[in-house]
A and B are shown apart, each in its own frame.
Chain A
Amino acid sequence: MGDYMRTPLYEDHVRRGAKITEYAGWEMPLQYAGIAREVEVVRKKVGLFDISHMGEFTVSGPNALDLLQYVTTNDISKLDISRAQYTLLCNENGGVIDDLIIYRLAEQHYLLIVNAANEKKDFDWISGHNSFGAKLENHSAYIALIAVQGPLAERTLQDVAKMNVEEIGRFQIAITKIAGQWCQVARTGYTGEDGFEVLSDVNDCADIWNALLTSGEQYGVKPIGLGARDVLRLEAGLPLYGHELTDETSPVAARLMWVVKPAKGDFIGKAAILQAKENGGGRKLAGIEAIDRCIPRHGCDVTVDGKAVGTITSGTFSPTLGKGIAMAYLDADMAAVDMAVEVTTGARTCACRVVSTPFYKRT
């Protein structure tokens, strides 16, 4: 392989028998025991993910808030210290540059976690609009990120963290020590389960990873690859940049208007997004469930009576539900629950129906 980047845990993944894949310029674990088994571990027990490939920026100083209000769609002024917010970076046309989570670490100090594939693009974009004079720094090369996800994530983390992790509410972040190493622990994730994401120095993350694997052993913890991560996020109905979200996709079509707050003042893309909302119509993101035994796949056409009504953006086999599931952009009048549609995959036509998302919701 060429000049791919590796996380500090790469050797550990290989030693544990992971199949390695190239993703966004990184060599990452695709799977260990197998996708279906790994999904089940996260749904029923607890899984550990090395997601150190993701990008981390900080925005700080007296003008941090103004810069973030201008480049993101959600209202960051509503965010209290130690809380997190899901938000979007949009371009002037209202297309989604990336989706991200912003954590407010201190009064004038914000942490942004962005998709690995968009790290440079996002940084350049925010930097290019920083006429506010906020301090913007890219720490991606120095920060490692481990996700602990599943119903037994809290117990696994509690056994090694020097704090009562129960106190960390959903979308909150706290500083603590694990295996003697300082880290920040946020109750966020991308699996549809309860869970945490642990940020640390790249030099410390192996200690944290090993401590969690050891403490979690009694709970059935396993390392989980990107293959299962994609299935988990799709079962949970969570969008992925490059699939449901692109630079040409509006938050209106992606049904993400709950993170767009026009009342907060001016921000990039506001006029275009409001225009798209006004126009209505167009295609809308919808869930699709296969009735036939098949997987509706990314790029496949969705048809009704042979007429194209949409395109699949992500599709997989859901081991939790035992059927093919997908997300698709569908003509607005077709994006109604229980609508019968067909998906053409290769030479086959597969009977499907429109369903509400998430496909899976934890109980």
Chain B
Amino acid sequence: MDPSKFKYSKTHEWVNAEDDTATIGITEYAQSELGEIVFVELPEIGISFSKGDAFGTIESYKTVSDLITPISGEVVEINAELAESPEFVNESPYEKGWMIKLKMTKLAELDELMTAQQYENAPKEH
């Protein structure tokens, strides 16, 4: 796991692509803006999403937000541990806090995402 090699979305999700599988989570910035997370709701395996779809919700003491997928694909795995331990997203957003794995259907969408460097320098919006 090397977040400097990940791709990033304007909505503060990260994508780690290996072959045609993409692991998705939210960024350090996103978790720090949300504060202590209490619920993470994830989709069932087998559901397909298009880029920009909400694939779940994340709720903290402060607020509730949709989780947006930055790429299209079918859910092949979810991080079931987050149901019991949503704090993993706060403590380890790039590793233990991963959310879903998608089998990508449009690999070219990866090129539309930001690099770690670009994300770092991008103006942050809530």
Q: Footprint of B on A, CB under 8 Å?
A: 34-36, 227, 231, 293-295, 297, 316-317, 319, 345-348
Contact = CB atoms under 8 A, between A and B. Distances in A.
Interface in B9-47: 36, 38-39, 41
Nearest to A319: B38
Interface of B: 36, 38-39, 41, 57, 59, 61, 64, 66, 87
A227 B35 CA distance: 11
Contacts of A36: 36, 38, 87
B36 A294 contact: no
Contact of B36 (A35, A345, A346, A347): A35
A58 B56 CA distance: 53
If over half of B's interface residues share one DSSP class (helix, strand or loop), that class is named, otherwise mixed; here it is strand
Contacts of A227: 61
Interface centre among B36, B38, B59, B64 (most CB of A within 10 A): B38
A231 B38 CA distance: 13
A105 to B, nearest CB: 38
A238 B97 CA distance: 35
A260 B70 CA distance: 57
A34 B57 CA distance: 21
Contacts of A297: 64
Nearest to A228: B61
A317 B61 contact: yes
Contacts of B57: 348
Contact of A34 (B36, B64, B66): B36
8 contacts: A35-B61, A36-B36, A36-B38, A227-B61, A295-B61, A316-B61, A317-B39, A317-B61
Contact of B39 (A294, A316, A347): A294
A293 B39 contact: yes
A29 B106 CA distance: 47
Given A35-B36, A36-B36, A294 B64 contact: yes
Given A293-B41, A293-B59, 10 more contacts: A36-B38, A227-B61, A294-B59, A295-B39, A295-B61, A295-B64, A317-B38, A317-B39, A319-B38, A346-B64
A35 B61 CA distance: 8
A295 B57 CA distance: 12
A154 to B, nearest CB: 30
Nearest to A316: B61
Contacts of B41: 293
Interface centre among A231, A297, A345, A346 (most CB of B within 10 A): A346
Nearest to A293: B39
B5 to A, nearest CB: 30
A295 B38 contact: yes
B36 A295 contact: no
Contacts of B38: 36, 295, 317, 319
Nearest to A290: B39
